[in-house]
Amino acid sequence: MNSINEILIPIMERLERIESKINQNDSPSLMTFKDVAEYSRLSIATITRGLRKGELKPFKDEGKKLFRKSDVDAWLRGK
């Protein structure tokens, strides 16, 4: 019984570390228009409308607009 635990526990710990790294990389903290559209499953037009209304604010406004994931989440929740 001890030998099984000695083998399984390190394997389970490694799997948990791998899983947490995968989950961290699933959604970036900065997102492009396309990222926001894929993440929210909304159209680019809807995202642009939210931007024009001032409901969704870009992190970087010069050139390529980038959005913080936390801001996108708040916008999707209606805050």
Place of tokens 């990222």: 35
Closest C-alpha to 72, from 24, 25, 35, 22: 35
Instruction: Record the tokens describing residue 55, joined without a space.
Output: 């409901």
Q: What band does 23 get if pLDDT is binned at 50, 70 and 90?
A: low
Note the CATH number of domain 2-77: 1.10.1660.10
pLDDT of 16 reads 87
The pTM score is: 0.60
Mean pLDDT, rounded, for 8-15: 88
Closest C-alpha to 39, from 66, 76, 11: 76
For 45-72, write each residue's pLDDT tens digit.
999 999 999 999 898 767 788 999 889 9
Closest C-alpha to 65, from 73, 50, 77: 50
pLDDT of 79 reads 57
Contacts of 64 (CB under 8 A, 6+ apart): 32
